[in-house]
Copies of this chain bind each other. A is one copy, B any other.
Amino acid sequence: MELDSHGTLLSAIVAVLALVFYFYTSFYVAQARSKYKIEPPAVTGDARFERAYRVQMNTLEQLVFFLPLLCLATIYYRALGWLPAALGAVWVVGRFLYMRGYIIDPKRRAAGFGIAALAQLALLLLTIWGIAKSWS
């Protein structure tokens, strides 16, 4: 693997974007905590705070899945070096739509969630394909 190839660098940039987005979701929770006066360690008490907190937690839950897959797909899928990064960018956009939807109304979280889930599934398939090719 070329750590300095443009494909790998694109994946690194997308990883940074995903981390900055995740930071934004936790910053939003901290703001909601002071705005709706939820004293730590409580994480309940106001539906708007709870929605912001669920967005952060769900982004965390997905990030733990997303980052290793982005990393593995970048390492093992070499046919199109930019493809893992492109799917990663789709993931970030999907999670942003998920956040925007959820904060207005939990029922509106589905579209963004689905987009990010499809990008993750594609990264999983690239990883499996890449490992299978490397093995043989």
Q: Is A9 an interface residue (CB 8 A)?
A: yes
A16 touches which one: B15, B22, B39, B128 (CB < 8 A)?
B128
A135 touches which one: B1, B9, B42, B106 (CB < 8 A)?
B9
Tell me the bound Cα distance from A51 to B12 in angstroms: 35
Q: Which residue of B is nearest A29, CB measured?
A: B61
Q: How many copies does the complex hold?
A: 3
Q: Is A67 an interface residue (CB 8 A)?
A: yes
A72 touches which one: B16, B39, B43, B51 (CB < 8 A)?
B16
Q: Is A3 an interface residue (CB 8 A)?
A: yes
Tell me the bound Cα distance from A114 to B52 in angstroms: 22
Measured between beta carbons, the chain B residues less than 8 angstroms from A19 are: 65, 68-69, 124
Q: Which residue of B is nearest A20, CB measured?
A: B124
Tell me the bound Cα distance from A54 to B38 in angstroms: 14
Q: Interface code A23-47, partner B: CB below 8 Å = 1, 0 otherwise?
A: 1001000000000000111110001
Q: Is A122 an interface residue (CB 8 A)?
A: no
Measured between beta carbons, the chain B residues less than 8 angstroms from A102 are: 40
